[in-house]
Amino acid sequence: MEYPYQCNEQTFSRFYANALASHIANSNPRIQEVFNQWKNTDALLSNLEKNQELKSILIQETPWLRDAQSETEQKKRIALLFDLNKMNNELSRAKNKLQQNQMPSGAWSWFGDYRPNRYITQHIITGFGHLNKLGVASSTVETTPMINKALSYLDSEFIQEYKDIRKYNKDADLNTDHLSYTQLHYLYMRSFFTENKPSKEVREIMDYYHSQIKTYWLKRPLYAKGMMALVAHRNKDEVTSAKILNSLKETSITLSLIHI
């Protein structure tokens, strides 16, 4: 929420933080009551700072004073984060900036250099997918046009990378491992938007990469395996997702034993 820069990645991070915080604050009236109390009473003072006698004797020359100030600062920041008016303003500002910065193609650049960046576009749309999955209402109706435009751009990029396998590798064997991180990230991103039906061409290429997951998942690092497990599960390939999950569990046990 407090990121100071204006790149599209951090603009979306502000949108994400404010959308999620607003959703939490509105989920239960008692939550907002607590933060209003923090803003309007000395609850913003840490317990240590409230005890003036102890403070004067004990903490002026010790790190406890810094700890007390840190606790107070944390409460202030949390109360500020959950201020509904501020959240709504920041949310609207970030959403408008994302709309303005989206290119006609549906892509976003990263640092405002107006060059489309596939990764940051996938990152933003994946974030919208996370919010939708959490049921965050502020991420739906008004952001749908942005999402649809971006999905159209990303589908095209997904197709092009697949075609480039043959274009730049005339003798490429499609049975060998061609699942790049970018294509895997696309599959993960696309799994949040099943209601946005892909074209027949996209579907066929997705099937190809799903077969690559089945064959080559064991060679990938942990983070990629996590995405592969989710992609397989959401495509109803429970056999592959179960294999990956079992592998992750075995790895976690092994690492724990080594650590011990």
Q: What is the pLDDT of residue 41?
A: 64
48 and 54 in contact (C-beta within 8 Å)? yes
pLDDT of 108 reads 96
Torsion of CA 68, 70, 74, 79, to 10 degrees: 60
Q: What is the 3-state secondary structure (H, E, C) of 116-177?
A: CCHHHHHHHHHHHHHHHHCCCHHHCHHHHHHHHHHHHHHHHHHHHHHHHHHHHCCCCCCCCC
pLDDT at 78 (0 to 100): 74
The tokens 């599209």 sit on which residue? Answer: 8
Positions of the chain with pLDDT under 70: 2, 40-70, 72-74, 77, 112-113, 137-141, 254-260
Average pLDDT, the chain: 85
Alpha carbon of residue 219 to chain centroid: 25
**pLDDT at residue number 85:** 82
Structure tokens that stand for 238 in this block: 């429970």
Span 198-217, pLDDT tens digits: 999 999 999 999 999 999 99
Q: Cβ distance 213 to 231 under 8 Å? A: yes
CA angle centred on 167, ends 161 and 169, rounded to 5°: 100
According to the model, what pLDDT value does residue 66 have?
A: 56
Tens digit of each residue's pLDDT (9 = 90 or more) over 116-146: 999 999 999 999 999 999 998 665 667 899 9
The letter for the amino acid at 179 is L
